[in-house]
């Protein structure tokens, strides 16, 4: 009989389902030593966000076949350690989509009709109807930042309210938006300027952190509302407070905060044009039940020897070490290339220096596509679902064996309608080194904030860029210049100790010989 360890609370219906599969041991609020004792002979392990599944605990688990996260995020699980041990990690990515979408609509209605303020007023014995004049949603424009699973559910509900829906998402094909009756816009600025309600549905990444700041808030209509049910740090809270106080926007509704819970004296508490909830977007009985039942079914599939549907990782048992190295290089190069690429990703090519077996090609393909998409999409992108995610977005893939590459080298080429980026690299002493950018030879370790600066090879350019970085107190850790001929086009690759601010990047871009500057978070 299988032993199933449960170390966080899950829905009782899910527990009953698990009991049909084997012996269920429930350890809520257990310490690490108690978990260690029981995980040693467990076949399956169910967690939510409370338990940290560390490498040390995974290495203790001699029989473990599957780790199941009854929810979406797996940041509390050492997925790499599980992968190395051949342990499948599953989650329930769609379990809370409807709950979060409904909560989003509830917050929009609360803002539009001033429902929380009116409730408080009536409880105080007041009856001031004029004070709570609201606005209709019908005919208004909803701007969705992110059109993934949750964004799509919000769009469907907003259409039922007769709202016009526009969306900004560089990784969703227009066909998907058209099927939803959503207009896809190319620039975030356009969405902010047109929308009466802006709702955020993107993951928190280095790229999206602080994406809604003072400049973006000033672009919004003074009558517009901002809603955030995604992650708190996507919005600059200081800028938002200023916007609400000074009337740049009419109001905001937040289910998430930069720090959770917020401090007792948080300035948002003093504002009457803001609605606040304690990160409860996915907190419904239906969502919790769905998450538990989804992972219970996934565990059943694994225990029967079947392939589960929501696999987060791809166990690498049997994949040779040299192919694993190619996969690591390919994923890192793809991540960097996708950050540099301008426009919507349409096409990906991976080149290697030698022949691979079909399953090895497939593993490398999945690693590269994961690198291209994982940082920028709301839904988790793994080596298991990367191909499906890319196909749904109309991204084409090509695999090539090139005589120009050595055995351990990988080249990743990404293309949009208006841009193409090619990065080549290799693994040296467990470090990924960049060896070529669009054919310009460099020798550069991919690590930390990195600037790619295309420029004309003229005396003084390096100095000007260095001065600008110094003026913004950004320290240069390493630099490499690649060129084909003296006085021609060249590329400067600069690693810095801290991430250059936006005004620093703009100043570099204004240097006359500089053609383009891009920040890559490695």
Contact 380/72 with Cβ under 8 angstroms?
Answer: yes
Q: Give the 3-state secondary structure percentages of the chain, helix then strand then coil, rounded to 5.
A: 35, 25, 40
Rounded to 5 degrees, what are φ and ψ at 67? -115, 125
Distances (CA, A) of 111 to 133, 253, 392: 11, 7, 34
Tokens of 327: 């996969």
* Burial category of 5 from C-beta neighbours within 10 Å (exposed 0-12, middle 13-18, buried 19 and up): buried
| CB proximity list for 74: less than 8 A, separation 6 or greater | 89, 91, 312, 380
Euclidean distance between CA atoms 99 and 93, whole angstroms: 12
Give the H or E element holding residue 512.
none
Q: Which residues pair with 25 in a beta bridge?
A: 5
Tokens of 141: 């424009």
∠ CA 99-101-107, nearest 5°, is 100
Contact 163/188 with Cβ under 8 angstroms?
Answer: no
Q: End-to-end alpha-carbon separation of the chain, Å?
A: 45
Handedness of CA 343, 198, 184, 106 (dihedral sign): positive
Tokens of 431: 């470090």
What does DSSP say about strands 396-401 and 410-415: parallel, antiparallel, or unpaired?
Answer: unpaired
Tokens of 56: 């040390």
Tokens of 248: 């740049």
Distances (CA, A) of 399 to 352, 362, 363, 374, 383: 8, 10, 12, 20, 16
Which residues are part of the catalytic machinery? 231, 260, 279
In the chain, count H helices and then E strands: 17, 22
Contact 508/474 with Cβ under 8 angstroms?
Answer: no
Euclidean distance between CA atoms 316 and 86, whole angstroms: 6
The overall longest dimension of the chain from CA atoms, in Å, is 81
Other C-beta atoms lying within 10 Å of the C-beta of residue 326: 28
Residue whose pair of structure tokens reads 């080194």 in the numeric block: 433
Contact 81/131 with Cβ under 8 angstroms?
Answer: no
């Amino acid at each position: 009989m299988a032993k199933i360890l449960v170390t966080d609370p899950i829905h009782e219906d899910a527990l009953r389902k698990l009991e049909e599969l084997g012996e269920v041991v429930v350890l809520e609020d257990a310490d690490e030593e108690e978990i260690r004792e029981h995980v040693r002979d467990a076949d399956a392990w169910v967690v939510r966000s409370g338990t940290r599944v560390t490498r040390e605990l995974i290495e203790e688990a001699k029989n473990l076949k599957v780790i199941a996260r009854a929810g979406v995020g797996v940041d509390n699980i050492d997925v790499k350690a599980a992968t190395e041990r051949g342990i499948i990690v599953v989650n329930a990515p769609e379990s809370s989509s409807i709950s979060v979408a409904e909560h989003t609509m509830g917050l929009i209605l609360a803002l539009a009709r001033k429902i929380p303020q009116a409730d408080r007023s009536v409880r105080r014995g007041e009856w001031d109807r004029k004070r709570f004049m609201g606005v209709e949603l019908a005919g208004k424009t909803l701007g969705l930042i992110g059109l993934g699973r949750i964004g799509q559910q919000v769009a469907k509900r907003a259409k039922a309210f007769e709202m016009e829906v526009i969306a900004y998402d560089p990784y969703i094909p227009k066909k998907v938006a058209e099927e939803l009756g959503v207009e896809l816009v190319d620039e975030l600025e356009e969405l902010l300027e047109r929308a009466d309600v802006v709702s955020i549905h993107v993951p928190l990444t280095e790229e999206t952190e602080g994406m809604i700041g003072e400049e973006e808030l000033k672009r919004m209509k003074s009558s517009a509302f901002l809603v955030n049910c995604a992650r708190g740090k996507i919005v600059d809270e200081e800028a938002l407070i200023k916007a609400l106080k000074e009337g740049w926007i009419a109001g905001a509704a937040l289910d998430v905060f930069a720090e959770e819970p917020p401090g007792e004296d948080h300035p948002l508490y003093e504002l009457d044009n803001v609605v606040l909830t304690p990160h409860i977007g996915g907190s419904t009985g239906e969502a919790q039940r769905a998450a538990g039942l989804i992972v219970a079914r996934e565990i059943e599939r694994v225990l029967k020897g079947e392939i589960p549907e929501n696999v987060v990782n791809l166990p690498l048992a049997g994949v040779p070490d040299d192919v694993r190295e190619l996969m690591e290089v390919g994923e890192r190069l793809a991540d960097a290339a996708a950050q540099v690429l301008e426009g919507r990703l349409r096409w990906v090519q991976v080149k290697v220096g030698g022949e691979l077996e079909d399953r090895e090609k497939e593993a490398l393909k999945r690693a590269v596509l994961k690198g291209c998409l994982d940082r920028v999409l709301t839904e988790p992108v793994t080596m298991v679902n990367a191909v499906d995610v890319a196909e749904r977005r109309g991204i084409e893939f090509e695999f090539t064996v090139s005589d120009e590459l050595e055995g351990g080298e990988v080249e990743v080429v990404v293309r949009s309608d208006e841009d193409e980026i090619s990065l080549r690299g290799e693994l040296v002493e467990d470090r990924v080194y960049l060896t070529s950018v669009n054919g310009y030879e460099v020798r550069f370790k991919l690590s930390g904030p990195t600037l790619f600066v295309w420029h004309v090879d003229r005396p003084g350019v390096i100095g000007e860029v260095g001065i600008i970085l110094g003026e913004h107190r950004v320290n240069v850790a390493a630099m490499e210049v690649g060129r084909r001929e003296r006085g021609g086009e060249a590329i400067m690759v600069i690693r810095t100790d801290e991430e250059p601010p936006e005004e620093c990047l703009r100043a570099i871009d204004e240097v006359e010989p500089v053609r383009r500057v891009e920040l890559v978070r490695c």
